[in-house]
Amino acid sequence: MNRLFFTNHAAVENAHFTKNSDDFVVSEIPLYEFSGSGEHLALHVRKKDLTTWQMLQALSDMSGAKMRDFGYAGLKDKDGMTTQYISIHKSFEKAFENFSHPNIKILSSTYHNNKIKTGHLKGNRFFIRLKKISSVDALKLAEACKKIAREGYPNYFGYQRFGKTGDNFEEGRALLEGKRKERNPKLRDFLISAYQSELFNRWLSKRIEISKYFESFNDKELQSALDWDKETIKKVKQQPQFCKLLEGDVCHHYPHGKAFLCEDVDAEVARFVNHDITLTGFLVGGRAMRAEGLAGEIDREFFAEADAFLDKLDGSRRFAWCFATDFEYRYKEEDAWFEMNFSLQKGSYATVVLEEILHRELS
């Protein structure tokens, strides 16, 4: 998918970014503290320029443990430096005492009662360094960082989800249509999730486009562009935040809680501005909550093609708008570097936040 609509206005064309171990660092934030006792060994591991799978394979080869015996909370990027927590039964502890690998380092270890499971993380902390930054572009970057720290960002799926050629979603659709077979269940699930992600991104891009209309157009132009009644346009335009909520949206308590229909828009806008709730989008499937009213009309435009597959998928809701926390930035003029640190919810992509800041795609 080519993302056409960004929230940031000022593009920074000359920023140089490379996902290497000096300029892109990811630190996993665990969901809870480990107990310090139990039958599972919890390892804090740092890897460089390896996928999580490649790291686990190296640990498996050295220890004799099977790949399936390792527990992990999430898969990390290959490029850059990443730290994460993995678990293995403590009977393998001795095998890791003298472990040595040029791209993997065991930072610390403890014990826990349970195997670490997928999704058992709070989020990730990121460090990003941009190079060849002029003083003028540094000011643009600082303003973009302030805006995201204050208002949040659209939670697109990153280009990593769609493969090198960007067509994973087409393979996923072919699987659902019965035009393609795939014996590997993990690959099958991944390709189908890419299709769900593509539809989500298309819908989210439309919602960002609509929100930008309200920044730029007067009431008459909005009526012409959207074909909404005057009263609806008036009420939506009064919302102070960039990302507009609509009657019938499926919202969610943030960062934890339950999904619910947006019925009293004015009340929910106040909670949205305070980061207490957020907007969600549909990951197609028959068991997921659906938008209604005006929001439902927009949904049908983007998700109708998947109606035939709803009985094959459970589906879910995904945060469409998220809020970065602990956002820090600095400009090192002598090196022409602009550096950022921020934390994101699990499932969010740092590259998506960076794309918003730069106002351009990185893929």
Cα four-point dihedral sign 116, 119, 124, 128:
positive
In a domain, 350, yes or no: no
User: What whole-number distance in Å separates Cα of residue 182 and Cα of residue 184?
Assistant: 6
- 243, 175: one domain: yes
The answer to whether the beta carbons of residues 283 and 203 sit under 8 Å apart is no
Query: Which residue has 């139990």 as its token pair?
Result: 38
pLDDT in tens, 23-74: 999 999 998 899 999 999 999 999 999 999 999 999 999 999 999 999 999 8
pLDDT in tens, 258-272: 999 999 999 999 999
The letter for the amino acid at 4 is L
Number of domains present in the structure of the chain: 2
For the chain, residues with pLDDT lower than 70 are 1-4, 8-9, 363
- 56, 164: one domain: no
In a domain, 65, yes or no: yes
- 174, 118: one domain: no
Q: What is the CATH number of the domain that holds 179?
A: 3.30.2340.10
DSSP structural state of residue 332: E
- 89, 182: one domain: no
Burial 59-73 (b: 16+ CB within 10 A, else e): bbebbebeeeebbbb
Residue 316, helix vs strand vs coil: strand
CA angle 355, 358, 359 (to 5 degrees): 75
- 92, 186: one domain: no
In the prediction, which pLDDT does 166 show?
84
Q: How far is CA 279 from CA 65, 169, 282, 332, 335, in A?
A: 43, 24, 10, 36, 40
pLDDT in tens, 1-17: 555 577 866 778 789 99
Burial 79-94 (b: 16+ CB within 10 A, else e): bbbbbbbbbbeeebee
- 64, 206: one domain: no
Cα four-point dihedral sign 269, 272, 277, 279:
positive
User: What whole-number distance in Å separates Cα of residue 192 and Cα of residue 176?
Assistant: 7
Partner residues linked to 16 by β-bridges: 131
The phi-psi region of residue 262 (left if phi > 0; otherwise alpha if psi is between -120 and 50; otherwise beta) is: beta
- 117, 181: one domain: no
Tokens of 76: 């990390």
pTM, full prediction:
0.90
**Active centre residues (catalytic):** 77
Tokens of 180: 């393609």
- 174, 110: one domain: no
Where is the domain boundary, 77, 105, 124? 124
The answer to whether the beta carbons of residues 170 and 198 sit under 8 Å apart is no
In the prediction, which pLDDT does 266 show?
95
In the prediction, which pLDDT does 6 show?
77
- 241, 318: one domain: yes
Could you tell me the residue range of the domain that residue 204 belongs to? Answer: 153-322
The answer to whether the beta carbons of residues 345 and 324 sit under 8 Å apart is no
In the prediction, which pLDDT does 137 show?
94
Residue 363, helix vs strand vs coil: coil
